Amino acid sequence: MDLHADRNPANRYDLTISMTRRYFASQLPPTGGVVTLSERESRHAIQVMRVQVGEPMTLFDGKGSEASATVCLINRNECQCETAAPRVVDREASLRLDLGIALPKPDRRQDLIERLTELGVNSITPLLAARSQRPPSEKRIEKLKRYVLEACKQCGRNRLMHIAPGESANRFLTQHSSVGQSTTPLRLIAQPGHQSLSVDSFQKYDHVIAAIGPEGGWTEDEVQLAVEQGFTPIDLGPRIYRIETAATLIAAVAALKI
């Protein structure tokens, strides 16, 4: 595949991103060619954005590449584009951040997912903790993935944030244990009354795994298990935050790592 990586920091903030419409295409021809957008993307382009033949756009594959394109055909529910050869444009965060989150209520999830996508979070695992109300259904998980896609289109990110299947908090903590592992990412669990989170917390690490509990908080058993598995409890500040605020705060601090 004839791709070249563009890691120029200026491209992370290229203002042309907001001026050129972006659409998702899971497969980009290695040397360029015609791409038919999915039914969902085609409907959005035709019915919402009112694209016309000859208009420029950018296609991205969700795996790190993007390609300049021009609309070449519009039918009722089909939009085709002529694309140039794709290139890898890296707008990812310098620090890999994987979050386990006991998700808030459905009406508050979209904003959470959008903010974390924009901040460059690598993955989110929905957690079922002891004080969680209910696990997210498969249908809800698919909705979260759509939020990720729309956020990537808006912010210029070329790699989709991964939404993992939901799992128990105990399994997440045990699966990401530092016990017996030679390489050690920084493992954090948000819990009041412990050391404070700061940018300096992340300076020695390229990978952080963090767990954020439900509205009712973690149980003592869950915190004890986390500590036994190598997680460090951190205090996010003097106030009690909503789940989405806590997750965004951790992601924002991680994004400040130089």
For residue 258, the number of C-alpha atoms closer than 13 Å in the C-beta half-sphere is: 1
- Per-residue pLDDT tens digits for 27-43: 999 999 999 999 999 99
Neighbours of 234 (CB within 10 A): 18
Check pLDDT > 80 for residue 182.
no
Check pLDDT > 90 for residue 135.
no
The average pLDDT across 11-35 equals 77
- Per-residue pLDDT tens digits for 93-124: 999 999 999 999 999 999 999 999 999 999 99
Residues 6+ apart with CB under 8 A from 190: 210, 211, 212, 213, 233, 234, 236, 246, 250
Domains in the chain and their CATH numbers?
A: 5-89 (2.40.240.20), 96-255 (3.40.1280.10)
Decide: helix, strand or coil at residue 216: coil
The reported pLDDT for the residue numbered 183 is 67
Neighbours of 9 (CB within 10 A): 9
The model carries a pTM of 0.88
- N-term to C-term CA, the chain: 31
The reported pLDDT for the residue numbered 2 is 39
Q: Which residue has the tokens 């997912």?
A: 113
Check pLDDT > 80 for residue 61.
yes
How far is residue 161's CA from residue 149's CA, in Å, rounded to a whole number?
8
